[in-house]
Chains A and B, each alone.
Chain A
Amino acid sequence: MGFLEIRNVTKAYGNVEVLHHVDITVEESEFLVLVGPSGCGKSTLLNMIAGLESITGGEIAIKGRVVNKVHSSKRNIAMVFQSYALYPNMTVGQNMTFGLEMHGVPKPERDRALADVAKLLQIDHLVDRKPGQLSGGQRQRVAMGRALVRNPDVFLFDEPLSNLDAKLRVDMRTEIKKLHQKLRTTIVYVTHDQIEAMTLSTRIAVMNKGYVQQLGTPKEIYDTPANIFVATFMGSPAMNILPARVAMADGRPQARITDAEGTERLLPFSQSNLAEWEGREILLGIRPEAITDPEGADRKSTNIVALANEVGVTEPAGSDTYVTMTLSGKDVIARMRADASVAPGEVFNFAVNMEKAVAFDPKTEERIKP
């Protein structure tokens, strides 16, 4: 049995169901990230775990205890809000110990807990300040500190980094990850930033329109997305999706596509069961980093295919150069090494790593599993 179990949970506002039959099990000291586009129900699910929203159907259990009817203060959870939600009239220290005070913890013990956590987060010099006198990053730390002093069973984070500037966000991301590795706490973390999801989590639940689309490790989600939504939502730039027809050649299934000039090309699949799809349309998914210059191709791959095609636009991005081209009438993005010499308009010899290619059923948009 899991540490935190979400069993067949639904949420409805009036007649509108915004969460449909969510099933997630979180093990102790796991870092689960709920990720999805705006309005998909991430915050709603988190608030239900926190006890701030009622549960319409199903049940949520923490450490084996069903908490549907348990008040949030009795669930032994702590939450970090997007706006930090620091009490403006209290000092940092009072903010952090308010929860302990409400739970009747005596003052000396509160002070000890405060000192420990403040030291851990390096905010010990700030405890007498008011939240209004702190920078965004400091407020963020205090908000985390307030959650930490409670020593809860489950930490809940609702987009805690979205109010920080890009640089600070990356720093705090690392810091949260470090903290998790050090304290081994159980965390449920909401974000709509897929990079945050990939970097922080031990497992990811990708959500869309109130459904959990896929639940898995970052690698599973990235390499074997369950459907087109997950494939295009996770990863930046997004996975290239292009229509292709399955044909048999050299005894293996191949994706028949057209290049920029309209000439037919064959890309051999590594996935053998696609033979069943011979003659039918599929959607071929290739990540930008699987289309490279020959020198940049993955040496460990057993299925690198050469593909000459006209270069559309090149976008040097410092660490890489992105190249846009046309395949099967779609814009396709390829990721070159930064110093690959590609010029717009010329025909370039790309290397496609077909080992990483995935195929989707165009009707259901589900991935065709091997």
Chain B
Amino acid sequence: MSAASQDTAVSTGRVTRTFLYLVLILFALFYLLPLYVMGVNSVKPLSEITGGNMMALPQIWTLAPWRSAWSTAQIGVEPTGLKPYFLNSILMVVPAVAISTVVGALNGYILTKWRFRGDTWVFGLMLFSCFIPFQIVLIPMAVVLGKLGLAGTVSGLILVHVVYGIGFTTLYFRNYYAAFPTELIRAAQIDGAGFFRIFWRILLPVSGPIAVVSVIWQFTNIWNDFLFGVSFGGTSQPMTVALNNLVQSSTGVKEYNVHFAGAILAALPTLFVYIVAGRYFVRGLMAGSVKG
């Protein structure tokens, strides 16, 4: 991939290249502008925002809005800040991502290497689940969670997200493993490895790229989810719902600087995941489509 882009870069002239960079820089600025606005406004006193220019750098630098957003801001009726909700989100997102990724990997393994009668149907139905809008499952899900006694708990949210995510993770792993030579599985069988041993020793070690895709995808979706959180969160609502409550509160003065800080806090984990795992992401998405 990098070799190909170098080729094109070499053959393009100087002028075109300058032009290209200008356009790219322009786009980059355009996309970075909101981040800039959020950043600078989260470190000024409120008076500077209400009284003047949103684009200007702060005259007085302060971290008070961040502290307030994190631990003292009014969320709904309690002045708890976003902290407890952030923890809720972490407690929800980590198991949900882990479970859905592992289940997806197992599904993909079975659907490609331990095929059975009707397996394409099973996969088709799982694929179908990717296209079901959130709204449709709200009421049935509420009933199920109620019956299981998980309504309004973090475990309930984990279950919802796992169920909803399995379709996607299965799709990723199935397509990735489909390109994995079946002869290797047969060789391992002759060597005496069983179902889980083959998965653990042969398949998982080469699943890195697609696991990263699955983790990023699931993490972003689950972390950013609002609808399931607000519907089933009960007393253990995730970060997104809390952020909404913070920003939408109709009483008192609108503390924009606190809102900005809160929004950045809410976006930080996904940003972190992208930066850490991002370069594998593209590689994983490309895997399977290109041989080698």
Known: A72-B189, A102-B193, A102-B197. A89 touches B183 (CB 8 A): no
Query: Which residues of chain A are near B140, meaning CB under 8 Å?
Result: none
Give the CA-CA distance A83 to B192 in the complex, in Å: 19
Taking A85-B181, A89-B206 as known contacts, 10 extra A-B pairs with beta carbons closer than 8 A to each other, sorted by chain A number, are A50-B186, A51-B190, A52-B186, A73-B190, A79-B190, A81-B186, A82-B183, A87-B187, A87-B202, A103-B192
Q: Find chain A residues with CB under 8 A from B193 CB.
A: 73, 98, 102
Q: How far is the CA of A98 from the CA of B189 in the complex (A)?
A: 11
- Of B183, B197, B202, B206, which is within 8 A of A81 by CB? B183
A99 interface hit (Cβ, 8 Å) = yes
**Cα of A82 to Cα of B192 in the assembled complex, Å:** 20
* Option from A85, A86, A102 in Cβ contact (under 8 Å) with B192: A102
* 14 A-B contacts (beta carbon < 8 Å): A47-B186, A50-B186, A52-B189, A73-B191, A73-B193, A77-B190, A81-B183, A83-B181, A83-B183, A85-B186, A85-B187, A87-B188, A89-B206, A102-B197
In the complex, are the beta carbons of A79 and B205 less than 8 A apart? no
Shortest distance in angstroms between A145's beta carbon and chain B's nearest beta carbon?
13
CB-CB < 8 A to A79: which residues of B? 186-187, 190
Q: Mark contacts of A73-100 with chain B using CB atoms, 8 A cut-off: 1 yes-contact digit, 0 otherwise.
A: 1000111011101111100000000110
Which residues of B (176-223) have their CB < 8 Å from a CB of A? 181, 183-184, 186-193, 197, 201-202, 205-206
Sort chain A's interface into a size bin: 20 to 34
A85 touches B183 (CB 8 A): yes
Q: Are B188 and A98 in contact (CB under 8 A)?
A: yes
Nearest A residue to B202, CB-CB: A87
| Cβ-defined contact, A89 with B205, below 8 A | yes
Q: Interface on B for A, CB 8 Å cutoff?
A: 181, 183-184, 186-193, 197, 201-202, 205-206
Give Cα distance in the complex from A89 to B202, angstroms: 7
In the complex, chain B residues whose CB is within 8 Å of the CB of A103: 192
- The distance in angstroms between the C-alpha atoms of A18 and B213, with both chains bound, is 42
**Cβ of A52: which chain B residues have Cβ within 8 Å of it?**
186, 189-190
- Which residue on B lies nearest to A103, using beta carbons? B192
The docked-state distance in angstroms from the alpha carbon of A78 to that of B181 is 18
Q: Is the CB of B186 within 8 A of A99?
A: no
Q: Which residues of A contact B191 (CB under 8 A)?
A: 73, 98-99, 102
Q: Which 8 A-B pairs have the closest CB atoms?
A: A73-B192, A102-B192, A99-B191, A89-B205, A85-B183, A85-B187, A81-B183, A72-B190
User: In whole angstroms, how far apart are the Cα atoms of A72 and B192 in the complex?
Assistant: 8
User: Which B residues are CB-close (under 8 A) to A51?
Assistant: 190
Among B184, B188, B190, B206, chain A packs the most CB atoms within 10 A around the CB of B190
| B184 cross-chain contacts in A, Cβ below 8 A | 85-88
CB distance from B184 to the nearest CB of A (A): 5
Q: How far is the CB of B187 from chain A (nearest CB, A)?
A: 4
The reply to whether A99 and B202 form a contact with Cβ atoms under 8 Å apart is: no
CB A307 to nearest CB in B, in angstroms, measures 51
Of chain B, the residue at the smallest CB distance from A156 is B190
